Amino acid sequence: MDSTSLTSLYREHIEDLSRRYGKALTAAGFDGIVIHSGTLQLKSLVDDQYWPLRPTPHFQHWVPVCEPDCAIVLQVGKAPVFIWTRSTTMWEIAPRPETDHFTHVIKIVEPEGADGVKALLPTSGKIAFVGDDRARAAAWGFDAERTNPKKLVDALDELRTIKTDYEIACVGEANRRAAVGHRAVFQAFRSSDRSELDLHLLYLAATGQDDPETPYKNIVALGPHAAVLHHIAYDKWAVSRNVESLLLDAGASYQGYCSDITRTWVKGTGATSSAYRGLIEGVEAMQKRLCDAVKLGTGYEALHEESHQQVAAILRDVGIGRGSVDALVSKGITRTFYPHGLGHSLGLQVHDVGCATTKPKPENPFLRNTSTIAERQVFTVEPGIYFIAALVEKLRQSPDASLVDFRLVDELAPLGGVRIEDNVVVLSKDAKAPVLNLTREHLPLGGGYAEALS
Protein backbone atom coordinates (compact mmCIF):
# COMPACT_ATOMS: atom_id res chain seq x y z
CA MET A 1 0.00 0.00 0.00
CA ASP A 2 1.32 3.45 -0.91
CA SER A 3 2.79 5.12 2.19
CA THR A 4 1.47 8.58 1.29
CA SER A 5 -2.08 7.28 0.90
CA LEU A 6 -1.75 5.26 4.10
CA THR A 7 -0.59 8.33 6.04
CA SER A 8 -3.48 10.38 4.71
CA LEU A 9 -6.03 7.70 5.59
CA TYR A 10 -4.47 7.29 9.03
CA ARG A 11 -4.67 11.03 9.72
CA GLU A 12 -8.40 10.98 8.97
CA HIS A 13 -8.72 7.84 11.11
CA ILE A 14 -7.11 9.52 14.12
CA GLU A 15 -9.27 12.61 13.74
CA ASP A 16 -12.39 10.44 13.57
CA LEU A 17 -11.35 8.33 16.57
CA SER A 18 -10.60 11.43 18.63
CA ARG A 19 -14.12 12.75 18.00
CA ARG A 20 -15.89 9.46 18.66
CA TYR A 21 -13.81 8.60 21.71
CA GLY A 22 -14.44 12.10 23.07
CA LYS A 23 -18.20 11.58 22.83
CA ALA A 24 -17.98 8.12 24.43
CA LEU A 25 -15.85 9.42 27.30
CA THR A 26 -18.18 12.34 27.99
CA ALA A 27 -21.25 10.09 27.92
CA ALA A 28 -19.59 7.72 30.41
CA GLY A 29 -18.60 10.58 32.73
CA PHE A 30 -14.84 10.61 32.05
CA ASP A 31 -12.46 13.36 31.03
CA GLY A 32 -9.89 11.11 29.44
CA ILE A 33 -8.54 7.61 28.96
CA VAL A 34 -5.28 5.70 29.20
CA ILE A 35 -5.20 2.60 26.99
CA HIS A 36 -2.53 0.06 27.90
CA SER A 37 -0.90 -2.00 25.13
CA GLY A 38 -0.61 -5.12 27.29
CA THR A 39 1.86 -7.14 29.33
CA LEU A 40 3.87 -10.18 28.29
CA GLN A 41 2.42 -13.41 29.70
CA LEU A 42 4.53 -16.31 30.95
CA LYS A 43 4.05 -19.59 29.12
CA SER A 44 4.58 -21.45 32.37
CA LEU A 45 5.09 -20.60 36.03
CA VAL A 46 8.16 -22.85 36.07
CA ASP A 47 10.02 -21.17 33.20
CA ASP A 48 10.92 -17.68 32.00
CA GLN A 49 9.59 -17.85 28.43
CA TYR A 50 6.77 -15.53 27.36
CA TRP A 51 4.01 -15.75 24.80
CA PRO A 52 4.28 -13.27 21.92
CA LEU A 53 2.28 -10.18 22.81
CA ARG A 54 -1.23 -9.77 21.44
CA PRO A 55 -1.78 -6.04 22.04
CA THR A 56 -4.99 -4.77 23.57
CA PRO A 57 -7.27 -4.17 20.57
CA HIS A 58 -8.37 -0.79 21.95
CA PHE A 59 -4.68 0.20 21.87
CA GLN A 60 -4.14 -1.04 18.31
CA HIS A 61 -7.19 0.94 17.29
CA TRP A 62 -4.81 3.90 17.54
CA VAL A 63 -1.34 2.63 16.60
CA PRO A 64 -0.01 -0.56 14.92
CA VAL A 65 2.64 -1.20 17.57
CA CYS A 66 3.19 -4.56 19.24
CA GLU A 67 5.22 -3.69 22.34
CA PRO A 68 4.36 -4.12 26.04
CA ASP A 69 3.70 -1.33 28.51
CA CYS A 70 2.96 1.35 25.95
CA ALA A 71 -0.07 3.61 26.27
CA ILE A 72 -2.40 5.90 24.39
CA VAL A 73 -3.50 8.94 26.36
CA LEU A 74 -6.53 10.87 25.18
CA GLN A 75 -8.13 13.76 27.04
CA VAL A 76 -11.40 15.19 25.77
CA GLY A 77 -10.72 18.13 23.49
CA LYS A 78 -6.99 17.40 23.20
CA ALA A 79 -4.87 15.56 20.66
CA PRO A 80 -3.96 11.96 21.51
CA VAL A 81 -0.49 11.09 22.77
CA PHE A 82 1.30 7.80 22.16
CA ILE A 83 3.62 6.83 25.02
CA TRP A 84 6.08 4.47 23.35
CA THR A 85 7.94 2.41 25.92
CA ARG A 86 10.94 0.80 24.23
CA SER A 87 11.99 -2.61 25.51
CA THR A 88 15.53 -2.79 26.90
CA THR A 89 15.67 -6.49 27.73
CA MET A 90 18.67 -8.41 26.41
CA TRP A 91 16.57 -11.52 25.82
CA GLU A 92 14.13 -10.41 23.14
CA ILE A 93 13.31 -7.59 20.76
CA ALA A 94 9.81 -6.41 19.93
CA PRO A 95 8.71 -6.69 16.30
CA ARG A 96 9.15 -3.46 14.39
CA PRO A 97 6.05 -1.82 12.88
CA GLU A 98 5.78 -2.60 9.19
CA THR A 99 5.58 1.09 8.26
CA ASP A 100 6.16 4.38 10.05
CA HIS A 101 3.09 6.17 8.70
CA PHE A 102 1.69 6.74 12.19
CA THR A 103 4.82 8.51 13.40
CA HIS A 104 4.04 11.45 11.09
CA VAL A 105 0.58 11.97 12.58
CA ILE A 106 0.32 11.13 16.28
CA LYS A 107 2.39 12.78 19.00
CA ILE A 108 4.93 10.36 20.47
CA VAL A 109 6.81 10.54 23.78
CA GLU A 110 9.32 7.93 24.90
CA PRO A 111 9.81 7.35 28.66
CA GLU A 112 12.57 5.44 30.38
CA GLY A 113 10.88 2.08 30.96
CA ALA A 114 7.38 1.22 32.16
CA ASP A 115 7.90 3.02 35.46
CA GLY A 116 8.50 6.23 33.57
CA VAL A 117 5.03 6.11 32.02
CA LYS A 118 3.29 7.13 35.24
CA ALA A 119 4.95 10.52 35.25
CA LEU A 120 3.51 11.24 31.79
CA LEU A 121 -0.11 10.45 32.67
CA PRO A 122 -2.75 13.16 33.31
CA THR A 123 -2.92 14.36 36.91
CA SER A 124 -6.27 16.14 36.74
CA GLY A 125 -9.76 15.12 35.70
CA LYS A 126 -11.47 11.76 35.84
CA ILE A 127 -9.34 9.43 33.74
CA ALA A 128 -10.21 5.81 32.88
CA PHE A 129 -7.79 2.92 32.33
CA VAL A 130 -8.53 0.30 29.66
CA GLY A 131 -6.37 -2.79 29.42
CA ASP A 132 -5.93 -6.40 30.55
CA ASP A 133 -3.33 -5.81 33.28
CA ARG A 134 -5.08 -4.64 36.43
CA ALA A 135 -1.81 -4.76 38.35
CA ARG A 136 -0.32 -2.24 35.92
CA ALA A 137 -3.43 -0.09 36.28
CA ALA A 138 -2.98 -0.05 40.06
CA ALA A 139 0.72 0.73 39.73
CA TRP A 140 -0.15 3.69 37.55
CA GLY A 141 -2.62 4.97 40.14
CA PHE A 142 -5.98 3.72 38.87
CA ASP A 143 -8.51 2.31 41.32
CA ALA A 144 -10.99 -0.45 40.47
CA GLU A 145 -13.80 1.99 39.63
CA ARG A 146 -11.75 3.65 36.89
CA THR A 147 -10.26 0.42 35.51
CA ASN A 148 -12.17 -1.01 32.54
CA PRO A 149 -15.46 0.73 33.44
CA LYS A 150 -18.12 -1.38 31.74
CA LYS A 151 -20.23 1.44 30.31
CA LEU A 152 -17.19 2.97 28.64
CA VAL A 153 -15.70 -0.30 27.40
CA ASP A 154 -19.04 -1.34 25.91
CA ALA A 155 -19.25 1.99 24.09
CA LEU A 156 -15.72 1.62 22.73
CA ASP A 157 -16.46 -1.93 21.58
CA GLU A 158 -19.56 -0.75 19.74
CA LEU A 159 -17.57 2.11 18.25
CA ARG A 160 -15.15 -0.40 16.70
CA THR A 161 -17.89 -2.00 14.60
CA ILE A 162 -17.99 1.04 12.29
CA LYS A 163 -14.76 1.13 10.30
CA THR A 164 -12.94 4.15 8.91
CA ASP A 165 -11.48 4.21 5.40
CA TYR A 166 -8.08 3.46 6.94
CA GLU A 167 -9.42 0.35 8.66
CA ILE A 168 -11.20 -0.88 5.55
CA ALA A 169 -8.00 -0.42 3.55
CA CYS A 170 -6.05 -2.42 6.15
CA VAL A 171 -8.55 -5.29 6.12
CA GLY A 172 -8.42 -5.18 2.34
CA GLU A 173 -4.63 -5.50 2.33
CA ALA A 174 -4.87 -8.35 4.83
CA ASN A 175 -7.19 -10.10 2.36
CA ARG A 176 -4.74 -9.56 -0.50
CA ARG A 177 -1.94 -11.14 1.51
CA ALA A 178 -4.04 -14.10 2.58
CA ALA A 179 -5.09 -14.70 -1.04
CA VAL A 180 -1.44 -15.27 -1.96
CA GLY A 181 -1.24 -18.03 0.64
CA HIS A 182 -4.50 -19.65 -0.42
CA ARG A 183 -3.35 -19.81 -4.04
CA ALA A 184 0.00 -21.33 -3.06
CA VAL A 185 -1.64 -23.99 -0.90
CA PHE A 186 -4.20 -24.84 -3.56
CA GLN A 187 -1.49 -25.32 -6.19
CA ALA A 188 0.48 -27.59 -3.83
CA PHE A 189 -2.62 -29.60 -2.91
CA ARG A 190 -3.57 -30.04 -6.55
CA SER A 191 -0.13 -31.10 -7.77
CA SER A 192 1.16 -33.36 -4.99
CA ASP A 193 0.45 -35.14 -1.71
CA ARG A 194 1.48 -32.91 1.21
CA SER A 195 0.95 -33.20 4.93
CA GLU A 196 -1.19 -30.67 6.75
CA LEU A 197 1.94 -29.35 8.45
CA ASP A 198 3.65 -28.95 5.07
CA LEU A 199 0.69 -26.95 3.77
CA HIS A 200 0.57 -24.82 6.91
CA LEU A 201 4.27 -23.95 6.61
CA LEU A 202 3.84 -23.23 2.90
CA TYR A 203 1.03 -20.80 3.72
CA LEU A 204 3.21 -18.98 6.26
CA ALA A 205 6.05 -18.69 3.77
CA ALA A 206 3.78 -17.47 0.97
CA THR A 207 2.19 -14.79 3.16
CA GLY A 208 5.43 -13.75 4.87
CA GLN A 209 4.10 -14.39 8.37
CA ASP A 210 5.37 -16.29 11.37
CA ASP A 211 2.81 -18.28 13.32
CA PRO A 212 2.28 -15.66 16.09
CA GLU A 213 1.64 -12.98 13.46
CA THR A 214 -1.34 -14.76 11.91
CA PRO A 215 -4.76 -13.60 13.09
CA TYR A 216 -5.51 -17.13 14.30
CA LYS A 217 -3.99 -20.59 14.03
CA ASN A 218 -4.47 -21.75 10.44
CA ILE A 219 -7.09 -24.46 9.96
CA VAL A 220 -5.53 -26.88 7.46
CA ALA A 221 -7.84 -29.87 7.14
CA LEU A 222 -7.38 -32.74 4.71
CA GLY A 223 -10.16 -35.26 4.16
CA PRO A 224 -12.22 -36.07 7.27
CA HIS A 225 -10.41 -33.40 9.30
CA ALA A 226 -12.54 -30.81 7.48
CA ALA A 227 -15.39 -31.95 9.74
CA VAL A 228 -13.44 -30.57 12.74
CA LEU A 229 -14.45 -26.92 12.67
CA HIS A 230 -11.23 -25.62 14.28
CA HIS A 231 -8.80 -28.35 13.22
CA ILE A 232 -5.22 -27.39 14.19
CA ALA A 233 -3.80 -30.80 15.21
CA TYR A 234 -1.97 -31.13 11.90
CA ASP A 235 -0.90 -34.45 10.48
CA LYS A 236 2.88 -34.20 10.21
CA TRP A 237 3.46 -36.86 7.57
CA ALA A 238 2.78 -36.85 3.87
CA VAL A 239 -0.56 -38.35 2.98
CA SER A 240 -0.04 -41.87 1.66
CA ARG A 241 -3.66 -42.47 0.74
CA ASN A 242 -5.35 -40.49 -1.99
CA VAL A 243 -7.01 -37.75 0.06
CA GLU A 244 -9.14 -35.76 -2.34
CA SER A 245 -10.39 -32.80 -0.29
CA LEU A 246 -8.84 -29.86 1.55
CA LEU A 247 -10.43 -27.13 3.65
CA LEU A 248 -8.15 -24.18 4.34
CA ASP A 249 -9.31 -21.50 6.80
CA ALA A 250 -6.44 -19.01 7.04
CA GLY A 251 -5.94 -15.26 7.18
CA ALA A 252 -3.29 -12.58 7.37
CA SER A 253 -2.73 -9.35 9.27
CA TYR A 254 -1.88 -5.80 8.24
CA GLN A 255 -1.36 -2.95 10.72
CA GLY A 256 -3.11 -5.12 13.34
CA TYR A 257 -6.20 -5.74 11.17
CA CYS A 258 -7.26 -9.26 10.23
CA SER A 259 -8.56 -11.22 7.29
CA ASP A 260 -10.38 -14.54 7.72
CA ILE A 261 -10.84 -16.60 4.55
CA THR A 262 -11.95 -20.18 3.95
CA ARG A 263 -11.79 -22.17 0.75
CA THR A 264 -12.59 -25.83 0.09
CA TRP A 265 -11.13 -27.82 -2.80
CA VAL A 266 -11.51 -31.29 -4.23
CA LYS A 267 -9.44 -33.24 -6.71
CA GLY A 268 -10.11 -36.60 -8.30
CA THR A 269 -12.55 -37.85 -10.87
CA GLY A 270 -14.44 -40.62 -9.08
CA ALA A 271 -18.15 -40.61 -8.35
CA THR A 272 -17.64 -39.54 -4.73
CA SER A 273 -15.35 -36.64 -5.70
CA SER A 274 -17.84 -35.57 -8.35
CA ALA A 275 -20.67 -35.58 -5.82
CA TYR A 276 -18.51 -33.63 -3.39
CA ARG A 277 -17.62 -31.14 -6.11
CA GLY A 278 -21.33 -30.58 -6.58
CA LEU A 279 -21.64 -29.89 -2.86
CA ILE A 280 -18.82 -27.32 -3.06
CA GLU A 281 -20.46 -25.64 -6.03
CA GLY A 282 -23.76 -25.50 -4.16
CA VAL A 283 -22.18 -23.86 -1.10
CA GLU A 284 -20.23 -21.49 -3.34
CA ALA A 285 -23.39 -20.32 -5.13
CA MET A 286 -25.26 -20.00 -1.81
CA GLN A 287 -22.46 -17.97 -0.25
CA LYS A 288 -22.53 -15.50 -3.13
CA ARG A 289 -26.31 -15.17 -2.87
CA LEU A 290 -26.04 -14.47 0.85
CA CYS A 291 -23.42 -11.77 0.25
CA ASP A 292 -25.76 -10.17 -2.30
CA ALA A 293 -28.63 -10.37 0.21
CA VAL A 294 -26.89 -8.14 2.75
CA LYS A 295 -29.15 -5.12 3.29
CA LEU A 296 -28.79 -2.01 5.43
CA GLY A 297 -31.16 -1.91 8.38
CA THR A 298 -31.92 -5.64 8.51
CA GLY A 299 -30.78 -8.04 11.21
CA TYR A 300 -27.77 -10.24 10.56
CA GLU A 301 -29.59 -13.06 12.34
CA ALA A 302 -32.25 -12.98 9.62
CA LEU A 303 -29.49 -13.56 7.07
CA HIS A 304 -28.27 -16.49 9.16
CA GLU A 305 -31.76 -17.99 9.19
CA GLU A 306 -32.01 -17.52 5.42
CA SER A 307 -28.76 -19.47 5.12
CA HIS A 308 -30.47 -22.48 6.74
CA GLN A 309 -33.22 -22.34 4.14
CA GLN A 310 -30.56 -22.40 1.43
CA VAL A 311 -28.59 -25.21 3.11
CA ALA A 312 -31.78 -27.26 3.17
CA ALA A 313 -32.22 -26.69 -0.57
CA ILE A 314 -28.64 -27.84 -1.22
CA LEU A 315 -29.11 -30.97 0.89
CA ARG A 316 -32.17 -31.78 -1.22
CA ASP A 317 -30.37 -31.02 -4.50
CA VAL A 318 -27.43 -33.34 -3.76
CA GLY A 319 -29.71 -36.07 -2.42
CA ILE A 320 -28.81 -35.95 1.28
CA GLY A 321 -32.11 -34.43 2.40
CA ARG A 322 -35.35 -36.26 1.62
CA GLY A 323 -37.90 -33.91 3.14
CA SER A 324 -39.13 -30.47 2.16
CA VAL A 325 -36.96 -27.42 2.74
CA ASP A 326 -39.21 -26.30 5.60
CA ALA A 327 -39.13 -29.76 7.20
CA LEU A 328 -35.33 -29.99 6.98
CA VAL A 329 -35.05 -26.65 8.78
CA SER A 330 -37.84 -27.07 11.34
CA LYS A 331 -36.73 -30.58 12.31
CA GLY A 332 -33.18 -29.39 12.93
CA ILE A 333 -31.67 -31.41 10.06
CA THR A 334 -29.80 -28.40 8.68
CA ARG A 335 -28.28 -27.75 12.09
CA THR A 336 -26.74 -31.21 12.06
CA PHE A 337 -24.87 -30.44 8.86
CA TYR A 338 -24.41 -26.70 9.49
CA PRO A 339 -24.09 -26.19 13.26
CA HIS A 340 -22.19 -22.88 13.45
CA GLY A 341 -23.16 -19.26 12.83
CA LEU A 342 -23.08 -17.58 9.43
CA GLY A 343 -20.37 -15.12 10.41
CA HIS A 344 -18.92 -12.56 12.79
CA SER A 345 -17.60 -9.04 12.97
CA LEU A 346 -14.03 -8.62 11.74
CA GLY A 347 -11.35 -6.06 12.50
CA LEU A 348 -8.59 -5.89 15.08
CA GLN A 349 -9.77 -9.25 16.35
CA VAL A 350 -10.87 -12.14 14.17
CA HIS A 351 -14.06 -12.55 16.17
CA ASP A 352 -14.34 -8.83 16.77
CA VAL A 353 -16.62 -7.42 19.42
CA GLY A 354 -19.56 -5.05 19.35
CA CYS A 355 -21.85 -6.95 16.94
CA ALA A 356 -23.15 -9.49 19.44
CA THR A 357 -24.46 -7.31 22.24
CA THR A 358 -27.81 -9.11 22.15
CA LYS A 359 -28.17 -12.86 22.50
CA PRO A 360 -29.17 -14.90 19.45
CA LYS A 361 -32.28 -17.05 19.41
CA PRO A 362 -31.96 -20.37 21.28
CA GLU A 363 -31.73 -22.29 17.99
CA ASN A 364 -28.71 -20.15 16.96
CA PRO A 365 -26.41 -20.54 19.99
CA PHE A 366 -23.15 -20.13 18.06
CA LEU A 367 -24.08 -17.02 16.07
CA ARG A 368 -21.50 -14.30 16.78
CA ASN A 369 -23.25 -11.44 14.98
CA THR A 370 -26.73 -10.35 16.05
CA SER A 371 -26.44 -6.70 15.06
CA THR A 372 -28.54 -4.63 12.72
CA ILE A 373 -26.54 -4.35 9.51
CA ALA A 374 -25.08 -0.85 9.25
CA GLU A 375 -22.90 1.13 6.89
CA ARG A 376 -19.15 0.49 7.30
CA GLN A 377 -19.53 -2.75 9.22
CA VAL A 378 -17.03 -5.41 8.21
CA PHE A 379 -17.99 -9.04 8.77
CA THR A 380 -17.62 -12.55 7.40
CA VAL A 381 -20.15 -14.60 5.46
CA GLU A 382 -19.20 -18.27 5.86
CA PRO A 383 -21.87 -20.95 5.40
CA GLY A 384 -20.84 -24.59 5.41
CA ILE A 385 -22.00 -28.19 5.24
CA TYR A 386 -20.13 -30.84 7.26
CA PHE A 387 -20.25 -34.51 8.14
CA ILE A 388 -19.44 -34.34 11.87
CA ALA A 389 -19.52 -37.89 13.18
CA ALA A 390 -21.08 -37.19 16.58
CA LEU A 391 -23.86 -35.02 15.12
CA VAL A 392 -24.54 -37.41 12.24
CA GLU A 393 -24.82 -40.39 14.61
CA LYS A 394 -27.20 -38.49 16.87
CA LEU A 395 -29.41 -37.73 13.87
CA ARG A 396 -29.16 -41.34 12.64
CA GLN A 397 -30.68 -42.49 15.94
CA SER A 398 -33.39 -39.83 16.00
CA PRO A 399 -37.05 -40.11 14.90
CA ASP A 400 -36.23 -37.84 11.95
CA ALA A 401 -33.62 -40.18 10.45
CA SER A 402 -35.90 -40.95 7.50
CA LEU A 403 -35.37 -37.38 6.25
CA VAL A 404 -31.72 -38.17 5.42
CA ASP A 405 -30.02 -40.52 2.97
CA PHE A 406 -27.32 -41.88 5.28
CA ARG A 407 -25.84 -44.03 2.52
CA LEU A 408 -24.81 -40.86 0.71
CA VAL A 409 -23.74 -39.20 3.96
CA ASP A 410 -21.43 -42.15 4.72
CA GLU A 411 -20.02 -41.97 1.20
CA LEU A 412 -19.19 -38.26 1.50
CA ALA A 413 -18.07 -38.27 5.15
CA PRO A 414 -14.39 -39.17 4.39
CA LEU A 415 -14.15 -35.82 2.57
CA GLY A 416 -15.07 -33.96 5.76
CA GLY A 417 -17.01 -30.85 4.90
CA VAL A 418 -17.27 -27.63 2.92
CA ARG A 419 -16.97 -24.00 4.00
CA ILE A 420 -16.63 -20.89 1.83
CA GLU A 421 -15.84 -17.65 3.66
CA ASP A 422 -15.43 -14.07 2.44
CA ASN A 423 -14.87 -10.76 4.22
CA VAL A 424 -17.27 -8.00 3.21
CA VAL A 425 -17.73 -4.33 4.04
CA VAL A 426 -21.25 -2.87 4.01
CA LEU A 427 -21.59 0.07 1.66
CA SER A 428 -23.86 3.12 1.77
CA LYS A 429 -27.44 2.98 0.55
CA ASP A 430 -26.39 4.97 -2.51
CA ALA A 431 -23.88 2.35 -3.66
CA LYS A 432 -24.64 0.15 -6.67
CA ALA A 433 -24.11 -3.05 -4.63
CA PRO A 434 -24.90 -3.71 -0.94
CA VAL A 435 -21.37 -4.82 -0.07
CA LEU A 436 -17.80 -4.69 -1.25
CA ASN A 437 -16.36 -8.20 -1.13
CA LEU A 438 -12.80 -7.63 0.05
CA THR A 439 -11.91 -11.30 -0.47
CA ARG A 440 -13.12 -11.89 -4.02
CA GLU A 441 -11.14 -8.93 -5.27
CA HIS A 442 -8.17 -11.29 -4.86
CA LEU A 443 -9.76 -14.78 -4.87
CA PRO A 444 -12.52 -14.46 -7.46
CA LEU A 445 -13.94 -17.94 -6.93
CA GLY A 446 -14.78 -19.68 -3.71
CA GLY A 447 -13.89 -23.31 -4.28
CA GLY A 448 -13.00 -25.97 -6.78
CA TYR A 449 -11.36 -23.46 -9.10
CA ALA A 450 -8.63 -25.46 -10.78
CA GLU A 451 -9.49 -23.98 -14.16
CA ALA A 452 -9.14 -20.42 -12.87
CA LEU A 453 -5.57 -21.06 -11.75
CA SER A 454 -4.38 -23.16 -14.69
Rounded CA-CA distance 393/407 in Å is: 13
36 versus 323: the higher-pLDDT residue is: 36
Render pLDDT for 339-391 as a digit per residue (tens, 0 to 9).
999 999 999 999 999 898 899 999 999 999 999 999 999 999 999 999 999 99
Render pLDDT for 255-298 as a digit per residue (tens, 0 to 9).
999 999 999 999 988 889 999 999 999 999 999 999 999 999 99
Model confidence at 450: pLDDT above 50: no
Rounded CA-CA distance 422/342 in Å is: 11
Model confidence at 239: pLDDT above 90: no
Report which of 195, 188, 258, 196 is spatially closest to residue 423, judged by C-alpha positions: 258
Render pLDDT for 16-27 as a digit per residue (tens, 0 to 9).
999 999 999 999
Model confidence at 4: pLDDT above 90: no
Q: Please give the pLDDT value at position 345.
A: 97
User: What secondary structure letter does DSSP report for 357?
Assistant: S
User: What secondary structure letter does DSSP report for 183?
Assistant: H
pTM confidence score: 0.95
Contact 177, 254 (CB under 8 A): yes
Rounded CA-CA distance 259/214 in Å is: 9
Q: Which domains does the chain have, with CATH numbers?
A: 3-159 (3.40.350.10), 165-453 (3.90.230.10)
Q: Please give the pLDDT value at position 444.
A: 85
pLDDT category of residue 452 using cuts at 50, 70 and 90: very low
pLDDT category of residue 114 using cuts at 50, 70 and 90: low
Using alpha carbons, list the distances in angstroms from residue 172 to 359, 437, 439.
29, 9, 8
Report which of 438, 447, 437 is spatially closest to residue 247, judged by C-alpha positions: 447
Mean pLDDT, the chain, as a whole number?
Answer: 94
- Residue 411's φ and ψ, nearest 5 degrees, are -70, -40
Of 154-163, 178-187, 240-249, 285-294, the one with minimum mean pLDDT is: 240-249
Q: Please give the pLDDT value at position 454.
A: 39
Report which of 411, 423, 354, 335 is spatially closest to residue 382, judged by C-alpha positions: 423
Strand (E) or helix (H) holding 127:
strand 127-130
Contact 379, 187 (CB under 8 A): no
Query: At 400, is the secondary structure helix, strand, or coil?
Result: coil
Query: At 304, is the secondary structure helix, strand, or coil?
Result: helix
357 versus 184: the higher-pLDDT residue is: 184
Q: Please give the pLDDT value at position 405.
A: 97
The residue-averaged pLDDT of 76-88 equals 93
Strand partners of residue 423: 380
